[in-house]
């Protein structure tokens, strides 16, 4: 949080990290979002195998 031009501790590193990630933004399709929502309503805490399967089924395995 910034007050009158002053930066709080850690803010500069967060801002820098965000700028380094620019260009790596990926927007999910509406179908992917719906699939993820449906799955997490049924299983809010999937294990690793379930996460991988969900990613493949939703077309997220390339990320």
Q: Where are the domains of the chain?
A: 2-57
Residue 59 φ/ψ region, left for φ over 0, alpha for ψ in the -120 to 50 degree band, beta for the rest: left
Name the pTM for this structure: 0.53
Tokens representing 32 are: 């992917």
Q: Is the per-residue pLDDT at 11 higher than 50?
A: no
Q: How many CA atoms lie within 13 A of 36 on its CB side?
A: 13
Our CA angle for 35, 36, 40, nearest 5°, is 120
Residue with tokens 């790596």: 24
Residues 30-62 pLDDT 10s: 999 999 999 999 999 999 999 999 989 888 876
């Amino acid at each position: 949080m910034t007050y009158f031009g002053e930066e709080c501790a850690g803010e500069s590193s967060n801002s820098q990290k965000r700028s380094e990630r620019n260009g790596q933004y990926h927007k999910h399709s509406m179908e992917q979002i719906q699939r993820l929502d449906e799955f997490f309503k049924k299983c809010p805490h999937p294990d690793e195998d379930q996460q991988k399967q969900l990613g493949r089924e939703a077309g997220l395995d390339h990320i």
